[in-house]
A and B are shown apart, each in its own frame.
Chain A
Amino acid sequence: MKGLIRKDIYMMKTYFRISWVIVLIFLVVGAVNEKASFYYIYSCMMGGILPISLLSYDEKERWLDYADTLPVSTNTIVRSKYLLGLIFSVAVSVLATISYAIGCKVSRGGDLSGVPGMAATFFCISLLPAILLMPVIFKFGVEKGRILYYILFGMLFFFAALTGFSDQFSAPALSLHPLIAVPVFVALWIGSLLFSQVMYPRRER
Chain B
Amino acid sequence: MNAFAIRGLTKRYDGFALDSVTLELPEGCILGLIGENGAGKTTTIKTALNIIKKDGGEAEIFGQKVEGDIASLKEDIGIVLGEPGLSGCLTGEEVARIMEGIFARWDNAEFRRLADELDLPLTKKYKELSQGNRMKLGIAVALSHGAKLLILDEPTNGLDPVVRDKVMEILMDFTREENHSVLISSHIVSDLEKVCDYIAFLHNGKLMLCEEKDALMEEYGVLHCKREDFEAIDPAAVVGSSDSIYGVSAVVRRDAVPEGWELSPVSLEDLFVVMVKEA
Contacts and interface: CB of A to CB of B under 8 A. Distances in A.
Contacts, number: 79
A25 to B, nearest CB: 24
A69 B79 contact: yes
Nearest to A64: B85
A149 to B, nearest CB: 21
A187 interface: no
A87 interface: no
Interface string B70-81: 011111000111
B86 A3 contact: no
Contacts of A70: 74, 79, 102-103
Contacts of B52: 205
A1 B86 CA distance: 16
A126 to B, nearest CB: 24
B242 interface: no
Contacts of B87: 7, 10-11, 57-58, 61, 63
Contacts of A61: 85-88
Given A10-B94, A61-B86, A65-B81, A205 B101 contact: no
Given A63-B86, A71-B103, A7 B98 contact: yes
B87 to A, nearest CB: 5
B89 A14 contact: yes
Contacts of B51: 68-69, 205
A15 interface: yes
Nearest to B71: A73
Interface string B27-63: 0000000000000000000100101100000000000
A61 B221 CA distance: 46
Interface in B188-204: none
B102 A72 contact: yes
Chain B interface secondary structure, helix, strand, loop or mixed? loop
Contacts of A201: 69
A61 B90 CA distance: 11
Interface in B75-121: 75, 79-81, 84-90, 94, 97-104
Contact of B85 (A15, A65, A73, A74): A65
A6 B101 contact: yes
Given A65-B81, A72-B71, A74-B69, A10 B89 contact: yes
Interface in A65-119: 65-76
Contacts of B102: 2-4, 70-72
Contacts of A72: 71, 102
Nearest to A67: B85
Interface-central residue, B49, B51, B84, B102, by most chain A CB under 10 Å: B102
Contacts of A76: 71
Nearest to B126: A61
B85 A62 contact: yes
Nearest to B85: A62
Contacts of B46: 68, 205
Contacts of A58: 87
Contacts of B89: 10-11, 14-15
A3 B74 contact: no
Given A69-B49, A72-B71, A73-B71, 18 more contacts: A4-B98, A6-B101, A11-B89, A61-B85, A61-B87, A65-B81, A66-B84, A66-B85, A67-B85, A69-B79, A69-B81, A70-B74, A70-B103, A71-B73, A71-B102, A73-B69, A76-B71, A205-B52
11 contacts: A3-B103, A4-B101, A10-B94, A10-B98, A58-B87, A65-B81, A67-B85, A69-B80, A71-B74, A73-B71, A205-B51
The list of the 3 closest CB pairs from A to B, nearest first, reads: A62-B85, A3-B101, A3-B102
Interface of A: 1-7, 10-11, 14-15, 57-58, 61-76, 201, 205
